[in-house]
Amino acid sequence: MKNAGFDFSRVKALSGSGQQHGSVYWRKGTNQVLRDLHPGKSLHELLKGGFAVSDSPVWMDSSTTEQCQYLETAVGGAQRVADITGSRAYERFTGNQIAKIYKAQPEKYEDTERISLVSSFAASLFLGSYAAIDYSDGSGMNLMDIFSKQWADSCLEATAPHLEERLGAPVHSSAVLGLLSPYHVTRYGFPEDCKVVAFTGDNPGSLAGMRLQEGDIAVSLGTSDTVFLWIKEPRPTVEGHIFCNPVDRPSYMALICYKNGSLTRERIRNKCAGGSWEVFSSVLRTTPIGNDGNIGIYFDAMEITPSAVGVHRFDKENTKVAGFSAQGEIRALVEGQFLAKRVHAEKLGYKIIPGTRVLATGGASSNKDILQVLSDVFDAPVYTIDVANSACLGCGYRALQGLVAESGVSFAEAVRKAPEPQLAVTPTPGADKVFAPLLRRYAELEETVLQESKQ
């Protein structure tokens, strides 16, 4: 940005977002290094000795089943963990990752002064000291009570010793953390009074960027696929997650995450469409809605929702088949992925009503033919915003909100001049009748696959 001539002197506040659940382990003494950053040197050079753990775990890690089982047993069961933290114990959630590091590498845990999420790590670089974790991203750790918004003692105790001091107190997501570090003021020409607003997770950032309203459903088609909703009265269950809402303090967001998103679409594109999104799209345009009753469930990697693995194909009689034609495979994949999302969102209490909008974001939301299937399965219009990177845009909006939040201005008022989402596609007439029986069948077939996976 500096090379491109960006005028940093006009920046009043900044915020940001990071991939959820990942964790960074700062070595003892590094807070002082952050305070004394020399503007003549790069951050890479200054901080290269600053980490107790060199390979930070990210959300795709699923090696902590043992820690999850321990947490659920210690706290009183899966539903009890969900009642407190918004989610039952999940492998990628940060608390379980911390527990594994404590067990496998106790000397590294001992050498850790502070544990950040990816979001609060990035905020720390701008703040020039350890930045607090915000309530919304903090909800993805299996450590925070999402109702009292404090770390939950029972979860801390089951995770690792002296953890609270390594986490620091969480803050609300529009909190001003402090002024930008002098390092950036000198190096880039930011004003001295530029404020750093709490950073948050990529999905909460997207909720802000899409300006989600109650009643909307957002579908993010990034590396992971996620579905999220704005909710007022959360009832955590053992499926899906409840996070604190990043833009409205009394509200919450529900989130369902799928590991087999774009990477699985890319695999089928490579196998059945010669590696071309154009060919993949043309197949979606020319194959029949409902795929002649054929349904596919594609879990290349162990799925999160539900916890099952493998590729499962069924014909219109629900009989397992070994394969589909290349065209049938592409349609089965995309329809199956969206049938799953609607079935799971409805299980969480979501109702598709007249006026429902589906807001799509993430890399694959640039593909109109994929969005058409989404619209047909949900029987609702799909909207997109100008930029696919809604998490980033949302954090620009949240920086603005942070400047005015203390004077009681709501997020909606703060961003009222921002462009509205644009209508991308509407449902194909008659698609609702095709998908009504397929939704029931998908739910039953998924249950069968889940039971088989448990054997």
Ligand X SMILES: Nc1ncnc2c1ncn2[C@@H]1O[C@H](COP(=O)(O)OP(=O)(O)O)[C@@H](O)[C@H]1O
Ligand Y SMILES: O=C(CO)[C@@H](O)[C@H](O)COP(=O)(O)O
Question: By the criterion CB under 6 A, which residues form the site for ligand Y?
Answer: 19-21, 59, 92, 140, 201-203, 222-224, 226, 255, 257
**Which does residue 363 touch among ligand X, ligand Y, none (CB within 5 to 8 A, set by kind)?**
ligand X
- Closer CB to ligand Y, 243 or 314, in the complex: 243
- Indicate whether 262 belongs to the interface with ligand X (CB under 6 A): yes
- The residues, any chain, with a CB within 8 Å of residue 274's CB and separated by 6 or more, are none
- Closer CB to ligand Y, 86 or 128, in the complex: 86
User: CB atoms < 10 A from the CB of 55, how many?
Assistant: 6
User: CB atoms < 10 A from the CB of 48, how many?
Assistant: 9
What DSSP designation does 335 have? Answer: H
Query: What's the CA gap between 381 and 359, in Å, rounded?
Result: 9
CA distances from 351 to 212, 305, 342 (A): 16, 19, 10
355 within 8 A of 215, measured Cβ to Cβ: yes
Contact range with ligand X by CB under 6 A, out of 108-116, 170-178, 259-267, 340-348: 259-267
Among 62, 223, 327, 428, binds ligand X (CB under 6 A): 223
125 within 8 A of 42, measured Cβ to Cβ: no
How many residues are there in the chain?
A: 455
CA distances from 203 to 154, 255, 392, 411, 442 (A): 27, 8, 10, 17, 26
- Indicate whether 300 belongs to the interface with ligand X (CB under 6 A): no
Contact range with ligand X by CB under 6 A, out of 262-270, 290-298, 315-323, 429-437: 262-270
**Which does residue 364 touch among ligand X, ligand Y, none (CB within 5 to 8 A, set by kind)?**
ligand X
- Indicate whether 204 belongs to the interface with ligand X (CB under 6 A): no
- Closer CB to ligand X, 70 or 277, in the complex: 277
- Indicate whether 266 belongs to the interface with ligand X (CB under 6 A): yes
**Which does residue 21 touch among ligand X, ligand Y, none (CB within 5 to 8 A, set by kind)?**
ligand Y
Task: Annotate each residue in 354-373 with x if it binds ligand X (CB under 6 A) or - if it does not, as one string.
Answer: --------xxx-xx--x---
Query: What's the CA gap between 372 and 380, in Å, rounded?
Result: 10
Binding positions for ligand X, rule: CB under 6 A: 222-223, 262, 265-266, 277, 362-364, 366-367, 370
